[in-house]
Structure 1
């Protein structure tokens, strides 16, 4: 076998030792990739050549590369978003936008754990551009999502032999930031029983009474907007949750339920069934009044001309009603929390609460959606009084 180390003489007369070694294929072009090494002594050249051969055989060889983080993000998104839903794809793109902004120009092989930690600090303090006051911090949940996607992208870089280790594995959200985020989430409380009743009392005579009731029996906003009249049996008093309708990056997305557990049949509480019957008759009158201007969509939640609505439309109408009813403003998801908490705190079995919510994981329902309210805590106090009295 020919000696791979070649002696060369430069124009200046200086002698050096050079080798060329195959290190694999270029993932972009599929062509052979080579590394050239030039050293002052034959011993240095032989040692480096042996190291490269050993790491190539062991699968640990990292070839010098000028790939930037922006390039890596693009490559990861292309691979990770194959055959995923539009909402998932958008969430990945949104998460990696912060990486692209903060680290995009930096070569992948030069990124350090300190760089990732600085990214985290920036996100927590001043990265917000939309959805609030620009220049303020983002939620810990948003940071966690970005950090998770960044780790996945760097794992791909390890697989492609661009880096030896994942520097994002050693970065973390500061403990104080998590404590403050937990306090903010704890301060955001769902409605209690009195607030629910006050809100519904105000809505009772309005057009959207049935719609608000649907939001208060534990359906997700996208499920409320995706509900069709064919999904409701007004005679049997049942409802089938099968479709969702939401807005993703300005585009309306209609798809089947979030999961197998999300596809569920629910018996309708009597007040909800009665309100839906009234709403169904009202829509028939609206259709007659509008004539050719009516655009029937088959959806339950529609505007006065029959057009299906999006979750942002539902949210705005709900906030308007909350303000008019003079009740505390909460997110529609908090209304869902209120429903599930009330069920759990009033003796409904955990398995039923989880199935009603459309969750496959019972522990997730209890951990995320069930909140002890003052009434249920008072009941606990009364039980303890019986024990201790």
Structure 2
């Protein structure tokens, strides 16, 4: 029999402990951060006394004042963030129902109001990934940079954590292939976490385009010279993306370096992760078959790839405008 005095906070602690056996460390960390937004307002309430009205009041409060980090505390929290917190709360309460701690999930039918979604869409300015011209400007501008090879890996569609997790043992310069099997990510931009790929599909072997192969060969030769200069002081970490001392880059450090280069080159600042979208959009626009596109991206199916990463801009649509001319009825310049 469950303790009738158990609070929501205590139940969330128990639920997270059980989830820890099935989820990666970084995922559990994100769950905790997401639920922290709920705990302050609702955590003290006894689980069996929590009501749908309590959850609705929290939701409306969070949309106006719920920000705890990543900006000014006490300001509005984005719809997506509130929705993520609601989703985790619903999961935890569903478990309580399954364990017969609760009769019903009082959060089950609480949803973000359509009005709040529409207002956020009006205010939010989506940062578009680079187009082909911007990608080429960046590539030409960083050719002399020490990290030219790692930046090209980002531009061929690897996730930042995959770039930072790549080891020289994963690179076959003779066969011109790389194996994506290891990642280095961060929790809260503070702690480095090394783990396997995001999913089974994420573990994949990719052929290296000619320019990337040449850049990696040059980068490896440079690291040999740096090792000779430092001698025993050199840290032979085995990673591809390392400092002059051999110490591995974190995704935070790689991101900062990329932002600095964008600023120097006068390019729009986009997330390093968005280079992935630029690559996959270009491949899709140039006829790469769906099953190859999904495999390149490390996705189980192409629906994920196309939904989140294939983002054609107006120039990509130009060919469709030309095709429409046929519908208009012009043939060889005659109407």
Structure 2 unaligned spans of 5+: 331-335
Please state how far the C-alpha of 1:268 moved relative to its aligned partner. Answer: 0.9
Greater alpha carbon shift after TM alignment, 75-84 vs 316-325: 75-84
Please state how far the C-alpha of 1:371 moved relative to its aligned partner. Answer: 0.8
Q: Does 1:80 pair with 2:12?
A: no
| 3-state SS of 1:359 partner | coil
Q: How far apart in 1 are the matches of 2:123 and 2:201?
A: 30
| 3-state SS of 1:187 partner | coil
Residues 108/92 of structure 1: CA separation in 2 closer, same or farther (3 Å cut):
same
Query: TM-score scaled by structure 1?
Result: 0.80
Look up the match of 2:296: 356
Q: How far apart in 2 are the matches of 1:165 and 1:80?
A: 21
Please state how far the C-alpha of 1:159 moved relative to its aligned partner. Answer: 2.8
Aligned residues of 2:37 and 2:68 also touching (Cα < 8 A): no
Look up the match of 2:216: 276
2:114 to 161, 164, 175: 175
2:70 to 108, 111, 131: 131
Normalized per residue, the structure richer in strand is 1
Look up the match of 2:333: none
Please state how far the C-alpha of 1:185 moved relative to its aligned partner. Answer: 6.5
Residues 270/184 of structure 1: CA separation in 2 closer, same or farther (3 Å cut):
farther
Q: Does 1:153 pair with 2:92?
A: yes
Aligned residues of 2:291 and 2:301 also touching (Cα < 8 A): no
Please state how far the C-alpha of 1:231 moved relative to its aligned partner. Answer: 1.0
1:222 to 152, 155, 161: 161
Look up the match of 1:206: 145
Look up the match of 2:320: 380
Deviations 1:108-141 (A, max 9, x none): 2222212111222222222222222322223322
Deviations 1:45-73 (A, max 9, x none): xxxxxxxxxxxxxxxxxxxx222111111
Residues 359/95 of structure 1: CA separation in 2 closer, same or farther (3 Å cut):
same
Aligned residues of 2:165 and 2:194 also touching (Cα < 8 A): yes
Q: How far apart in 2 are the matches of 1:136 and 1:370?
A: 32
Structure 1 unaligned spans of 5+: 1-25, 29-64
Look up the match of 1:311: 251
Q: Which has the higher contact order (CA 8 A, sep 6+)?
A: 2
Q: Does 1:333 pair with 2:276?
A: no
Look up the match of 1:102: 41
Aligned residues of 2:142 and 2:261 also touching (Cα < 8 A): yes
Q: How far apart in 2 are the matches of 1:140 and 1:352?
A: 34
Q: How far apart in 2 are the matches of 1:236 and 1:137?
A: 52
Deviations 1:127-171 (A, max 9, x none): 222222322223322222211111122122223333321110121
Look up the match of 2:283: 343
| 3-state SS of 1:260 partner | coil
Q: How far apart in 2 are the matches of 1:144 and 1:226?
A: 31
Please state how far the C-alpha of 1:342 moved relative to its aligned partner. Answer: 1.1
| 3-state SS of 1:348 partner | coil
